[in-house]
Structure 1
Amino acid sequence: MQDTQPDRHALRGLMRQRRRALSHSEQQLAAQQLVTQFKQHPDVQAAKRIAFYLANDGELNPLPTIHWLWAQRKEVYLPVLHPFTPGHLLFLRYTATSPMVRNRYGIEEPELDVLQVVPHSALDLICTPLVAFDSAGNRLGMGGGYYDRTLACWHQHRLGPKPLGIAHDCQQVDAVPQEEWDVPLPQLITPLRCWQFS
């Protein structure tokens, strides 16, 4: 799954620069607004097990939302790079006391513990980070294809956890160039809006 379109590469660079340009106060406000959006989202209210991510490279910070989910007694899981299957993710239970390590991308993830792994099919929602999105629900990721592989079964058969994109409002573009393996999102949350695509 290597990008073959140079415009995807250029767009990825532009949008990463755009979200990194947000000030600290803008990031803090966006993180609090995300909590507000989650509080009123019906799929979130119904979910018991929710996979999230930890912010990197200017991504929308989900930690205030994760703390709110914990207060609602919902289980939170984080992606961990699969140690034996390149390009794939495992999901581990994440709590306030989870021992953390940095993966090869420099992103914090829970230390691998097989007792904390849950099959991704047992999750209710997978909150996916992204670099850019458009009004049709097309998503541009970082280029590794990790979430496209994770969500392929849902995309093809509507089985497994429902994806929920998470992004800053400034990450919207007119059109995301598509590749055949891309998994469009059925819904997405930004600080100012909840998008429903299908």
Structure 2
Amino acid sequence: MHGNSPKSLRQDLLAQRKEFAGSASYAKTQEAIVASLTQLLAKYDAQIQSIALYCPIQDELDLRPALLTWADSKASKVLALPFARPDKHLDFYVWEEGDLLIPSRHGVPEPDPNNPRRPQITPDCILIPCVGWSQSRVGDQTHYWRLGYGGGYFDRTLAQLRKAKPKLLCIGIGFDWQKLDDAQWQAQAHDEPLDAMLTESGLVITC
């Protein structure tokens, strides 16, 4: 049973993720998610030319090998990493394997925003790791929601980027067991919905 606050819920979920990452079933689960990601990239090949990924921390799923393979498939494909600004918004900068990354104040490896060879971009797709996630239905539409680390960076950033790029595709990355019910956690008014959720069961898109 989780605690009754978002903080204790996060602590419980992070502890479970650490344990899961060391389990025998982890590798198979990772393979299933990577396979679904590869299918997604093939399906949306024309729509997605640039993807913002993440450097995994605290046992987050590492999708970098699969995405580097995708980026190498065509010269037009680009990867980017987030940089956390002091105002708690994210900027995205082009990333290539081997680039020097700088730890943020939260310990997250980030690109150097002053690197002239790696411009800032607005990606077509953003992959967002989840500590937990949930879904809700309003009328005939299903929404997916992300429980993160509590900083609000992604919510602020998505609210801003979606105004300039309405077709931006935001996909949560997580595991089936991280799904939360309303008794455990409910999205707040400031939370930005995800366009899709990718787990070992496959990809589910808002419909």
Q: TM-score, normalised by structure 1?
A: 0.84
CA distance in 1, matches of 2:176, 2:95: 27
Question: 1:48 — aligned with what?
Answer: 49
Question: 2:34 — aligned with what?
Answer: 35
Q: Relative to structure 2, which stretch is displaced further, 151-160 or 129-138?
A: 151-160
The counterpart of 1:164, out of the listed 171, 190, 199, is: 171
On the 8 A contact 1:7/1:177 being kept in 2, the answer is no
The answer on 1:12 being equivalent to 2:10 is yes
CA distance in 2, matches of 1:156, 1:144: 21
Runs ≥4 residues deviating over 6 A: none
CA distance in 1, matches of 2:200, 2:46: 18
Change (3 A) 1:180 1:135: closer
CA distance in 2, matches of 1:89, 1:72: 27
CA distance in 2, matches of 1:157, 1:76: 20
CA distance in 2, matches of 1:142, 1:17: 13
Question: 2:84 — aligned with what?
Answer: 81
Aligned-residue CA RMSD (Å):
2.2
Counterpart amino acid of 1:132?
G
The answer on 1:129 being equivalent to 2:129 is yes
- What residue ranges of structure 1 are gaps of 5+ in the alignment? 1-5
Report matched runs for 1:135-154 at 5 Å: 135-136=135-136, 137-153=144-160
| CA apart distance, 1:145 | 0.5
CA distance in 2, matches of 1:174, 1:43: 30
CA distance in 2, matches of 1:71, 1:49: 12
Question: 1:117 — aligned with what?
Answer: 119
**Identity within the alignment, %:** 24
Change (3 A) 1:76 1:155: closer
CA distance in 1, matches of 2:46, 2:69: 12
On the 8 A contact 1:60/1:168 being kept in 2, the answer is no
Give the 3-state SS of the residue equivalent to 1:86 in structure 2.
coil
CA distance in 2, matches of 1:24, 1:103: 29
- Greater helix percent: which structure? 1
Aligned residue-pair number? 189
The counterpart of 2:194, out of the listed 175, 185, 188, is: 185
Question: 2:93 — aligned with what?
Answer: 92
For residues 3-51 of structure 1, give each alpha carbon's deviation from its aligned partner in whole angstroms, at most 9, with x where no partner exists: xxx5222221111111111116544433332221112113366300000
